[in-house]
Structure 1
Amino acid sequence: MLVDHHDPENLSLLRFNSLWEHAYCHDSLLVFSTGRSPTLYIELRKEKPLLTPDTTIMSIGTEIMYGNSMVPDHGWVDTLNNKWDLRVVKEETGKFS
């Protein structure tokens, strides 16, 4: 099923929501994956009739959050930050305009 959030009437989203609630929500997890930042994803949720996923993967996979309250996966943050020194990265990238 193709779901298009550019659909002004939200028909594809509403069909998906109905299918999910009827056939899958009882024994499956709903996961949304988006390149959007959490801020842009929250804006989209205000504009569109999106279901609340169990897991949301955002920012091109660099942020994972759970449930309606969007609890961050701190273990994933720790994994991504392993062997990174943010101070050094900011210092080096600050050298470029």
Structure 2
Amino acid sequence: MNYDVSKNKIKLHESLSLDVIGELKAIMDEEFPKKSKKWVVDLKEVNSIDTAAIQFFVILKNNLENQGKNVQFMNLPESLQKDIELLSLEGFFN
């Protein structure tokens, strides 16, 4: 999986699917500073995402909020925005 990390921001590339969720979780656990209160996930370069990846992001956001932290998703591709609307998760990702 291709990604770039800077400070508390991760920029993901290519596709996100069930096949990469374990790797994505490991990357998030390893790369993001434990003390950071705000995390940013940039999805501009993501060309496809499946429901397993969406579910991972929902769990990630809930877990971080329970720790008093925040995650912001930015540059959502149009295809992901449509999926989010179908799942009624607009407020969750915006």
Q: Which has the larger radius of gyration?
A: 1
Q: Report which of the two has the higher share of strand.
A: 2
Is TM-score (shorter-chain normalized) higher than 0.5?
Answer: no
Q: Normalized against structure 1, the TM-score is what? A: 0.33
Q: Which has the higher contact order (CA 8 A, sep 6+)?
A: 2
